[in-house]
Amino acid sequence: MAITGQLLALRDIRLTFGGAPLLAGADLAVSAGDAICLVGRNGSGKSNLMKIAAGLTEPDGGERVVTKGATIRYLAQEPDLSGYATVLDYVTSGLSPSDDPYTARRIVEALGFQGTEAPGTLSGGEARRAALARVLAPAPDVLLLDEPTNHLDLPAIEWLEEELASRRSAVVLVSHDRRLLSKVCRATVWLDRGVTRRLSQGFDAFEGWRDTLLAQEEVERHKLDRKIAAEEHWIRYGVSGRRKRNQKRLGDLGTLRQRKADAPRAVGAVKFTIDDELEATSKLVIEGRRLTKTWRDASGGTQTVVEDLSLRVQLGDRLGIVGPNGSGKTTILKMLTGELAPDAGWIKLGATLQLVSLDQHRDSLDPNRTLQETLTGGRGDTVTVGGVTKHVISYMSDFLFKPDQARTPLRVLSGGERGRLMLAQAMARPSNLLVLDEPTNDLDLETLDLLQEMLSEYPGTALVVSHDRDFLDRVATSILAYEGDGRWVEYAGGYSDMVAQRGHGVRAKAVAPPPPSAKRTAPPGAPATTVAARTRMTFKDQHALKTLPGRMTELTARVAALEARLADPKLFARDQAAFQAAAAELGQTRAALAAAEEQWLELEIRRENLEAPGRA
């Protein structure tokens, strides 16, 4: 029988690591049917609060109350699969006698496993997916999920949304995926400066509510500043003859100053600078024609991950690349940047490209170097950004790092902090092409806002591989989507625009679209002759052959005009609706131009064949 009412409560939780308290009176109440998103900046203590809720960490103060009989499952950040022969063994070991083992197998397969995999062969991301299967397989009263979408592809994320929506378990969710938070959660708990505040609405209402609270704090702080200024004025000009009688006012001023010094402040908005001195000599950044790439798998067979892909990337484009895990997204990135040669076709790169890459594994970071050494290259204490020299401490603060972290070795930074550091490094280098492979992993919402703002004002071009649908909607000018069997198709606009155009999102097993018109088979009963072998041209064909060149010229001019408009890096930030309309029109115009060129080519081939010597 399901438990009703409150299931779990944390009251006045306090926790300190080192000097300043991490949690300074945090509360969390979870009742049956709750779907709560726990939000806050990286380092604010969300994961620690979740571990306290799970009973894995003992707080310095406060209490944890669990209703008798209530079951709780927690998604571990670093799961331990040792001692289990297979993934399925690991997952089913977490079941109680009343749980359905078939549910475990269903979830294991939904998350991309066969169940027979040996735990020792799994990557970190695969181990985390196995841990997610283990907590979802039972039917707990409370699910505590800390970044469950990390290392999931888009089909798995959308499956997880549906799975959580169909369950009776109460859910507490920490995630950077705005779309997931919006669809799943009905209440929001904000952890900020060690304390929690609760909003009885979903994530969509959170950011406006948070900004209102912060604005109110600023008003109160301004009032306090004015009172301090008035007291200082009185002290300077009126205290000389009344010093003994008015020592209390001096004490009050000291108290006010101390209050201001002790008041917890919201961390300021992140700042950034982009070097815009580099300019491409041409609007064409990357062009690929008839690209094909095939890999040999472990069984000795071959898999074509890219087949016959033609693509043009222009100055100012933000190309999003989406597809299920293993579809070849990273392979495409490497081909488009010249790191990997195609098996067939050719790639042409702009002559003045200067590339900066953010890789999803943070492999370029040396764990033994300090934060300051990483940003300065080990040379001095300044950073040059956009031709302007800044002290490294000031530059660190732009990315939410504290001054005392300057000499912190990178190995102790959280995943989110390493992500912020990668952004800081990228933005300190001159570039005109950004390559972002899963840049949103481990980033908090504020840092995602920073990355979005950076891309909207970045004067160069960006290639982005991401599973974050909201992020792609905010930054992408077009989406290159996997269609199955090595085929990729480009759609104008963001992720939602792609879904509207193709009728569905990214699927684990893509359904093949109809073959291109050039490969269409003749309808039943049609003569078994090729286009070139037909014996005559109709009046309609002759008219089309005459008028199509003019039509193609008009379409080419319109494509150029739309590309020029979308090349404005500030258009998206200034007028999102106009940007989306122009992007959609560009996709339609390009398609119309391609169709006109194909029709003209077919007609011209037929005309040449009819006029060839020896024909009747």
Domain assignment present for residue 461? The answer is yes
Tokens of 501: 């155009």
Looking at residue 142, what is its pLDDT? 94
Last residue of a domain, one of 183, 208, 233: 208
Domain assignment present for residue 217? The answer is no
Q: What is the mean pLDDT of the chain?
A: 79
Domain assignment present for residue 88? The answer is no
Give the Cα separation of 298 and 305 in Å (integer).
15
Average pLDDT over residues 582-606: 75
Same-domain check for residues 451 and 341: yes
CA angle at residue 452 from 449 to 454, to 5 degrees? 110
Give the Cα separation of 31 and 279 in Å (integer).
56
Domain assignment present for residue 385? The answer is yes
> How do 478-484 and 487-492 pair as beta strands?
antiparallel
Residues in the chain, overall count: 616
Same-domain check for residues 480 and 453: yes
The answer on pLDDT for 597 being more than 80 is: no
Same-domain check for residues 452 and 382: yes
| Confidence category of residue 518, pLDDT binned at 50, 70, 90 | very low
Same-domain check for residues 471 and 566: no
Give the Cα separation of 204 and 223 in Å (integer).
31
Same-domain check for residues 480 and 529: no
Same-domain check for residues 50 and 163: yes
Side by side, the strands of the sheet bearing 318-322 are 355-358, 433-437, 461-465, 318-322, 478-484, 487-492
Tokens of 165: 């929506």
Looking at residue 522, what is its pLDDT? 35
Output the pTM of the full model: 0.65
Any idea what the CATH number is for the domain that residue 581 is in?
1.10.287.380
Same-domain check for residues 457 and 521: no
Domain assignment present for residue 322? The answer is yes
| Rg of the chain over all Cα atoms, to the nearest angstrom | 30
Alpha carbon distances (Å) from 453 to 393, 449, 492: 22, 6, 20
Range of the domain at 394: 284-502
Tokens of 429: 């280098």
The answer on pLDDT for 519 being more than 50 is: no
For tokens 């920073």, the residue is 450
For the chain, the first-to-last Cα distance in angstroms comes to: 87
Domain assignment present for residue 512? The answer is no
Tell me, rounded to whole angstroms, the distance of Cα 37 from its chain centroid: 18
Looking at residue 251, what is its pLDDT? 59
Give the Cα separation of 309 and 258 in Å (integer).
65
Looking at residue 59, what is its pLDDT? 92
Domain assignment present for residue 341? The answer is yes
Query: What SS3 state is found at 198?
Result: strand
For 17-150, strand residue ranges (E) read: 21-31, 35-39, 61-66, 72-74, 142-146
Any idea what the CATH number is for the domain that residue 396 is in?
3.40.50.300
Residue 614, Ramachandran bin (φ over 0: left; ψ between -120 and 50: alpha; else beta): left
- Are 128 and 116 a contacting pair, CB within 8 Å? no
Give the Cα separation of 449 and 444 in Å (integer).
9
Nearest to 320 by CA among 488, 508, 472, 500: 472
Same-domain check for residues 449 and 532: no
Asked which of 231-240, 417-426, 599-608 is least confident by mean pLDDT, the reply is 231-240
Please name the residue ranges forming H helices in 341-431: 371-376, 392-398, 415-428
Domain assignment present for residue 269? The answer is no
Same-domain check for residues 438 and 527: no
Tokens of 421: 């550091």
The answer on pLDDT for 516 being more than 70 is: no
Looking at residue 611, what is its pLDDT? 64
- Are 324 and 506 a contacting pair, CB within 8 Å? yes
- Are 325 and 309 a contacting pair, CB within 8 Å? no
- Are 138 and 94 a contacting pair, CB within 8 Å? yes
Query: What SS3 state is found at 424?
Result: helix
**Which residue did the predictor score with more confidence, 579 or 23?**
23
Using one digit for the tens of pLDDT, what is the confidence trace for 101-122?
Answer: 888 899 998 888 888 889 888 8
Query: What SS3 state is found at 439?
Result: coil
Alpha carbon distances (Å) from 377 to 277, 362, 372, 373, 429: 21, 17, 8, 5, 12
Query: Element (H or E) spanning 490, and its range?
Result: strand 487-492
For 17-91, strand residue ranges (E) read: 21-31, 35-39, 61-66, 72-74
Average pLDDT over residues 75-89: 86
Last residue of a domain, one of 208, 226, 251: 208
Give the Cα separation of 71 and 3 in Å (integer).
10
Same-domain check for residues 371 and 456: yes
Domain count, the chain: 3
Tokens of 390: 């800044």
Query: What SS3 state is found at 121?
Result: helix
DSSP 148: T
Asked which of 15-24, 105-114, 514-523, 587-596 is least confident by mean pLDDT, the reply is 514-523
Give the Cα separation of 569 and 116 in Å (integer).
49
Using one digit for the tens of pLDDT, what is the confidence trace for 332-364?
Answer: 989 998 888 999 999 998 878 888 887 655 556
Last residue of a domain, one of 193, 208, 223: 208
The answer on pLDDT for 298 being more than 80 is: no
Using one digit for the tens of pLDDT, what is the confidence trace for 117-170?
Answer: 898 888 777 888 899 999 999 888 999 999 898 878 888 888 899 889 888 899
Same-domain check for residues 437 and 543: no
Same-domain check for residues 465 and 535: no
Using one digit for the tens of pLDDT, what is the confidence trace for 369-415?
Answer: 888 888 888 878 888 876 778 888 888 887 778 888 888 888 877 76
